[in-house]
Amino acid sequence: MITTVTLNPALDRVYYVSEHGPGESEYIYEEQAIRVYPGGKGLLSAIDLVKLGNKDVQNLGFVGGKQGLFFEKMVQEYRVTTNYIYTDNEIRNNVFIIGRKPVSYTHYNDYTYRVKKKDVEQLLKRFGRAIVDSECVLISGSIPGGIDFDIYEEMTKICNEQDKRVFLQASGEALNLSLRQNPKVIMPYFKHTKRIFNRDIIEFEDYITACRQLISNGAEHVIIPYHCDRLLFVEDRVYSLSPEDFCLSSWLGAGDAYNAAFMDYVLHRGFDFIEANRYGAAAALAIAEKRGIFLDNRKEIEDNLDRIMIKELEV
The pLDDT of residue 246: 74
First vs last C-alpha separation in the chain: 39
Q: What angle do CA 152, 194, 46 make, to 5 degrees?
A: 45
Residue positions counted in the chain: 315
DSSP state of 184: S
Q: What is the mean pLDDT of residues 281-285?
A: 95
Q: Contact at 8 Å (CB) between 34 and 28?
A: yes
The pLDDT of residue 125: 96
Q: Which domains does the chain have, with CATH numbers?
A: 2-12+36-89+112-313 (3.40.1190.20)
Share of the chain above pLDDT 90, in %: 70
* 248 has a pLDDT exceeding 70: no
pLDDT per position as a tens digit, 4-52: 999 999 999 988 888 777 767 778 888 778 888 899 999 999 999 999 9
The pLDDT of residue 26: 77
Q: What angle do CA 123, 125, 131 make, to 5 degrees?
A: 90
* 120 has a pLDDT exceeding 70: yes
Amino acid at 84: Y
Helices vs strands, H then E, count in the chain:
9, 16
DSSP state of 154: H
Judged by average pLDDT, the poorest of 24-28, 90-94, 214-218 is: 24-28
Q: Contact at 8 Å (CB) between 41 and 142?
A: yes
Confidence (pTM): 0.91
Q: Which of 112, 103, 95 is nearest to 19 (CA)?
A: 103
Q: What is the mean pLDDT of residues 84-107?
A: 87
User: Helix-strand-coil percent breakdown of the chain, rounded to 5?
Assistant: 35, 30, 35
How much is the mean pLDDT over the chain?
91
pLDDT per position as a tens digit, 158-196: 999 999 999 999 988 999 999 999 999 999 988 767 788
The pLDDT of residue 249: 66
Q: Contact at 8 Å (CB) between 42 and 4?
A: yes
